[in-house]
Amino acid sequence: MKEILNKHFFNNSISDYILTLSLLVLVFVIYWFCRQLIEKKISQRKEMTSSKLNSLFIRALLKNVVPFTFLLINYFIINRLHFTPRGEKILDFTINVVVIFFVIRIINYTLHLSVQSYMQLKGEPEARMRQINGILMVIKGLVWITGFLMLLDLKGYDIKTILTGLGVGGIAIALAAQNILSDLFSYFVIFLDKPFEVGNIIKVNNQVGTVEHIGIKTTHIRDIMGELLIFPNAELVKTPLQNISRLNFRRAVVPFDVKLDTSATQLDEMTRGLEALVLSVEHTEFLRACVTGFGEYSIKCELIFNIHCFEYRDFANYRQQVILKLIVHLESLGIRLAQPVRIINSESIIDN
C-alpha cells in the first residue's frame, strides 16, 4: 500500500494528490457551512430590522469576500503540488485573474454601499438614489479598466505604450463623441448642483412639465398636455429654467381704478384698511397699497401682496378672496370703481 501511495505521476505522489483532494473537500464543506450561516443571518435581518444597509453588507460578504477567501485557500492547497513551468505560469495567471476580479468587485461594492449609506443618512429620496447609479456605473467602469491594465502589466505588457495609445485614441473618441460627453458631464452637474429633481415641475423654453427621469444623456419631462419632452442634459444646463416646485410664494398685483370724484379722505381710509383686509385671508403677506396716479377718467390704485402656497389653483383661490373683500371694503367707504368711458363726438357724425 505504501508503495502505491509513493508512486509519482506528473511530479507528484499519489499520497500528495489524496491529501490535496481531502483538503479541498474539507475547505468546500467549511465554505458551504459558512454560506448557509450567512444566508440565515440575512433572512434574520429581514425579519428583525427594516434597515437595508446591514443586509447589503452581509450580502457583499456572501457574494465577494467568502468566495474570494475560498478560492484563495484552494490556490494555496493546490500550490503544494509540483507543476511543470508551463503549469505554474497558467496557475499563477489564473490566480492573478481571480484576485483582480474579486478585488475590483469588493472595491465597487464597497463604493456603492458607502455612497448609498451616505445618501440614506442625508435623507435623500429614492429618485436621487436611482440617479446616483448612473454616476456609479461610470466610476465602476473606470475601476474595471484599471484592473484590466494591472492584469496586462502582470502579464508583461508595456502599460506605458498602451496608455499612450489609449490617450491618442481617447482624444479621437472625445472629438467624435463630444456631444455625448457634454451630456454626461451635464448629468454630473445636474446631480451635484440639483437645479431640479425627479418630480419637480420646471419651466424651460416656455414649456412647463414634471421631471419624470434624469438619465445619463437625456432628461424626460411630461408637459401639462401629457406629452413627453426629451431634453439633452447639456441643453438643460445651458438654458435658463424655472423650478416652479421650489416657489416659496407667489406675488399678486391687483390694479384697480376708482372714480375721479373720490375724495382724498376716502382714498386715505381705503389704503389704510387694505393691510388688515389682506391679512384676514390665510397664507397672505401684505406688501403695499397705494394710489399710483391719474388715468384719463379715473384715479389709479394698486394692491400688492404675497400668497405663500405652491399650487396655482390655491393661489387663484386666495387672490379671489382678497379681491372680493376689496370690493366690499370699497362699497363700505362709498367708493365706486371707475368704468371705461367712451366719448363720441356727435357733431362729427352729423357733419359726415
Give the per-residue pLDDT at 50.
46
Q: Is the pLDDT of residue 155 over 50?
A: yes
Q: Work out the average pLDDT over 126-148.
A: 78
* Residue of 161, 138, 137 lying closest to 149 (CA atoms): 161
Q: Is the pLDDT of residue 285 over 80?
A: yes
Give the per-residue pLDDT at 274.
93
CB 258 within 8 A of CB 338: yes
Q: Work out the average pLDDT over 74-94.
A: 80
Give the per-residue pLDDT at 106.
83
Grid coordinates of 208? 412647463
Give the per-residue pLDDT at 247.
81
Selected residue with higher pLDDT from 120 and 164:
120
Pairing of strands 201-204, 207-214: antiparallel
Give the per-residue pLDDT at 10.
63
CB contact burial 3-38 (16+ within 10 A = b; e otherwise):
eeeeeeeeeebeebeeebeebeeebeeebeeeeeeb
Q: Is the pLDDT of residue 24 over 90?
A: no
Q: Residue 42 — pLDDT band, cuts 50, 70, 90?
A: low
CB 230 within 8 A of CB 290: no
Structural domains of the chain sorted by starting position, each given as residue range(s) with its CATH number in brackets: 2-157 (no CATH), 183-246 (2.30.30.60), 250-332 (3.30.70.100)
Give the per-residue pLDDT at 327.
94
pLDDT tens digits for 85-135?
A: 787 788 888 888 888 888 888 888 888 878 877 777 777 777 777 777 777
- 3-state SS, residue 286: strand
- 3-state SS, residue 127: helix
Sheet-wide strand order for 201-204: 228-232, 218-223, 207-214, 201-204, 241-243
Q: Is the pLDDT of residue 256 over 90?
A: yes
Give the per-residue pLDDT at 49.
47
pLDDT tens digits for 209-251?
A: 899 988 888 899 998 888 899 998 888 888 888 888 888 888 9
Q: Work out the average pLDDT over 262-282.
A: 92
Q: Is the pLDDT of residue 84 over 70?
A: yes
pLDDT tens digits for 290-334?
A: 999 998 889 999 999 999 987 888 999 999 999 999 999 999 999
Q: Work out the average pLDDT over 335-342.
A: 80
Selected residue with higher pLDDT from 98 and 264:
264
Please provide the average confidence, as pLDDT, over all residues in the chain.
80
Q: Work out the average pLDDT over 140-158.
A: 79
Q: Residue 45 — pLDDT band, cuts 50, 70, 90?
A: low
Grid coordinates of 82? 509540483
| CA 206 from centroid of its chain's CA atoms | 24
CB 286 within 8 A of CB 279: yes
Give the per-residue pLDDT at 178.
64
Please report, to the nearest 10 degrees, the dihedral formed by the alpha carbons of residues 264, 265, 269, 271 taken in order: 10
pLDDT tens digits for 166-204?
A: 665 555 555 555 667 777 788 888 888 888 888 888 888
